[in-house]
Structure 1
């Protein structure tokens, strides 16, 4: 357990603002690409199972990268790690645009995943400069940057995509994503200050996933990691087949899918930026996390139960332009409910880990948490592809909803262990 009686680290608002901007720019690029990936893959004559493999390849890279970059950022600092990973993102997106086959695209996504494992580094930076009691709120602000990236990214991707041009019509959003990642790297170089001193070069270097033993021994971290594994499996399953599901049920294309994810981003950003921190302070990180799990699961069930053809396509005249209200417009509303639940998860999970981990191990533990998420993102899409093709298009959503129930129970148990440890150490419980 961390010593909560130690002096709190000094919050550096300008650094946090710059980090918020960097995360936002980077996630705009990410949001540009993800919703159109199924359709980009189809332009390369990919089968549904190959599309889910492409999602899993990225996560496989992240699985190896997150613990490595998080551990390295503990040793050499957060800034150089952010610079390296953002540069790798820029190169990966650019290479993807020129991939001639689906298998080369899968290999490039694997490389991009290896270079994209910087979320734990960002969280480590926030933990470096934020007092423990304020970390859920600050993690929520960074989560809001993620959400805002998904507001602008998918919407912009939908506008830039020109599916009538075939494969070429999907390239411009990918080029823009590469440019934004490069811009974020430039921001790191010129505007972001280092948040921690470099470790002693003579100190022994921990092995890959060296924190697994410590995590398993910690009653809080072990449970929180399991929550991440379970709920991320459900989310990644939904994410990987949503485009195919919407195309089959509502004849949607990349534009409609992108706009749906944009709505998810709006809700996520508002919830994390405004409400998550306040809710955590009032009700406790544990209760908010468990509630978020159940909200997300409920949204998956409602998505399946939504009628397929009761809502005809119409157009809404806004004066300056006409907004098409397509068949299935109820789905983004249901997804917004799930976004409320999902946006409660990451900030509170990160805050609970940081409260239960010594400062010099936070990067490693947060990296291990992201690695657990990557494991879920590896197997979630693969299982979703098998369920989608073998049992039916709704089954990935139903299985994902079922998984959120044990995730909520485990989250509550983790909170009990955290309060017990704080009480033992003489620290007021949350």
Structure 2
């Protein structure tokens, strides 16, 4: 019962944390334009968050292995709160970049939250609990933009102050209600993160493959988002409000699939098999999207992709966690998030380059990333029966 209470407390914290992020993301560009921000600068601003997160997340995860999950999660949420206040108080582009970099540096809340879930989950429940956590993050991203739109009618600064307040609520909830999951006797007190771990982790037969597949699929998703935004505006010519509703529907489809994870894992015991089957649907949907100009067909294919893409993180995170000692959960899941950060940069950059040929090519590019991930999943399945990662030092 106590474990379930901790899980749902963590879910609530993740909802309000992702809600704050979802509120401000659509407003960054119009807010930054008053300081002279261009579309190119927006790309750099977005990348600055991901680059900072790439370097910081595994360090924070490693520190959570040594000092406990709860204090690191609280520190991450405080950093997010301060970054939103800095954004609201910004008087120049430099302050905007400083705010996003700070949020990236303290943005270890995802991997720390995942480590907390892993600490208190059995191997049989991990995929289900990761699915619940993923749904919590997804829910905030879906409804956040709508709330941000309403708050922006007060002022452009109002959504950022509101997001800071939400992050502060997350800090208070974590401090008063969340129980530490990494007890003193289980902590790795000599834990020290080295950046060479970013390379050595890929040598681990199962974990390395899972992280690389996650990187490819994240790259595919963020490339797709660029194609989605351009295609709906320039080809389908639907309004910004309709695009927002469309994107919300896409997000909801992924949430529904994540909530269905417990039932899916009862049908298929192999997490890598579930991942493999889901990638078949994702690849076909994305490939066919590149050939259509019809709103109804595009909607059906995007919802199919969103639905089956919802299985990605629960399966991969569970596969990784099943093969890591508790005293290295934070560091390993942090490394996984670091590679996801690279995908968040590479996806939009590669999509932007190929969109100069045709927006349809962006969907073909995304499908290619998925197909490569699909091929690597066969390697993952061959290694899945291995219970340990041998002597790989991460």
What's the TM-score, normalizing by structure 1?
0.81
Aligned CA distance change for structure 1 residues 88 and 253 (closer, same or farther; 3 Å) = farther
1:122 corresponding residue in structure 2? 113
Counterparts of 2:125 and 2:387 in 1: how far apart (Å)?
16
Aligned CA distance change for structure 1 residues 369 and 424 (closer, same or farther; 3 Å) = closer
Counterparts of 2:147 and 2:141 in 1: how far apart (Å)?
10
Counterparts of 1:76 and 1:423 in 2: how far apart (Å)?
25
- Per the alignment, in what secondary structure is the counterpart of residue 359 of structure 2? coil
1:348 is aligned, of 298, 315, 319, to: 315
Q: Name the stretch that deviates more: 355-364 or 101-110.
A: 101-110
The reply to whether residue 374 of structure 1 matches residue 359 of structure 2 is no
- Per the alignment, in what secondary structure is the counterpart of residue 193 of structure 2? coil
The alignment's C-alpha RMSD in Å is 2.9
Contact persistence 1:237–1:380 (CA under 8 A): yes
Counterparts of 2:200 and 2:302 in 1: how far apart (Å)?
36
Q: What whole-Å deviation, never above 9, does each CA across 1:104-163 have from its counterpart, x for those lacking one?
A: 43342222111112211111101111111211111111111112212321332344445x
The reply to whether residue 405 of structure 1 matches residue 371 of structure 2 is yes
1:62 corresponding residue in structure 2? 53
Contact persistence 1:158–1:258 (CA under 8 A): no
1:82 is aligned, of 50, 59, 73, to: 73
| Structure 2 unmatched ranges of 5 or more | none
Counterparts of 2:188 and 2:325 in 1: how far apart (Å)?
20
2:246 corresponding residue in structure 1? 260
1:53 is aligned, of 44, 66, 72, to: 44
Counterparts of 2:211 and 2:183 in 1: how far apart (Å)?
28
The reply to whether residue 131 of structure 1 matches residue 122 of structure 2 is yes
Aligned CA distance change for structure 1 residues 188 and 110 (closer, same or farther; 3 Å) = same
- Per the alignment, in what secondary structure is the counterpart of residue 157 of structure 2? helix
| Structure 1 unmatched ranges of 5 or more | 1-9, 163-167, 311-327, 426-430
2:138 is aligned, of 147, 151, 162, to: 147
What's the TM-score, normalizing by structure 2?
0.88
Counterparts of 1:114 and 1:52 in 2: how far apart (Å)?
18
The reply to whether residue 156 of structure 1 matches residue 142 of structure 2 is no
2:384 corresponding residue in structure 1? 418
1:361 corresponding residue in structure 2? 328
Contact persistence 2:186–2:326 (CA under 8 A): no
Deviation at 1:13, TM superposition (A): 0.7
The reply to whether residue 30 of structure 1 matches residue 21 of structure 2 is yes
- Per the alignment, in what secondary structure is the counterpart of residue 291 of structure 1? helix
Contact persistence 1:147–1:269 (CA under 8 A): yes
Counterparts of 1:424 and 1:371 in 2: how far apart (Å)?
20
Deviation at 1:35, TM superposition (A): 3.5
Contact persistence 1:143–1:269 (CA under 8 A): yes
The reply to whether residue 72 of structure 1 matches residue 75 of structure 2 is no
Q: What whole-Å deviation, never above 9, does each CA across 1:175-212 have from its counterpart, x for those lacking one?
A: 32222111111110111011112479994342333544
Aligned CA distance change for structure 1 residues 248 and 92 (closer, same or farther; 3 Å) = farther
Query: How many residue pairs end up in the alignment?
Result: 389
1:197 is aligned, of 183, 188, 192, to: 183
- Per the alignment, in what secondary structure is the counterpart of residue 340 of structure 2? helix
Counterparts of 1:424 and 1:119 in 2: how far apart (Å)?
24
1:223 is aligned, of 209, 213, 216, to: 209
Aligned CA distance change for structure 1 residues 45 and 424 (closer, same or farther; 3 Å) = closer
Deviation at 1:62, TM superposition (A): 1.1
